[in-house]
Amino acid sequence: MLIGEIGGDAEERAAAYIAENITKPVVAYVAGFTAPEGRTMGHAGAIVSGSSGTAQAKKEALEAVGVTVGRTPSETAALMREILHG
């Protein structure tokens, strides 16, 4: 389980790490799909600038390496349950 947020590049770096080092399924939730561009959310690091740092960009980076990404906490829980229990 990976939980991320808008801003920065930690999730993109995590995607690269997962691609190289993790063989088990990973499910992720990235907070901030509804965050308006250019607005600071919560702390100075959580700002979206253009397409960089958006929840969608992070979702795409994670999905590109096989991570299943939920758009809401409840969807993410359902995805995790599905992966664990078939």
Q: What is the pLDDT of residue 24?
A: 96
Q: What is the pLDDT of residue 49?
A: 54
Q: What is the pLDDT of residue 46?
A: 53
Q: What is the pLDDT of residue 14?
A: 98
Q: Which one is catalytic: 1, 21, 23, 43?
A: 43
Residues 46-70: pLDDT tens digits? 555 555 678 899 999 999 999 999 9
Q: What is the DSSP string of 37-81?
A: TT-B-SSTT-B-BTTBT-HHHHHHHHHHTT-EEESSHHHHHHHHH
Residues 27-36: pLDDT tens digits? 999 998 887 7
Cβ burial of 39 (10 Å; 0-12, 13-18, 19+) is exposed
- Give the integer Cα–Cα distance in Å for 29 and 76: 6
85 carries an active-site annotation: no
Q: What is the pLDDT of residue 58?
A: 94
Domains and CATH numbers, the chain: 2-85 (3.40.50.261)
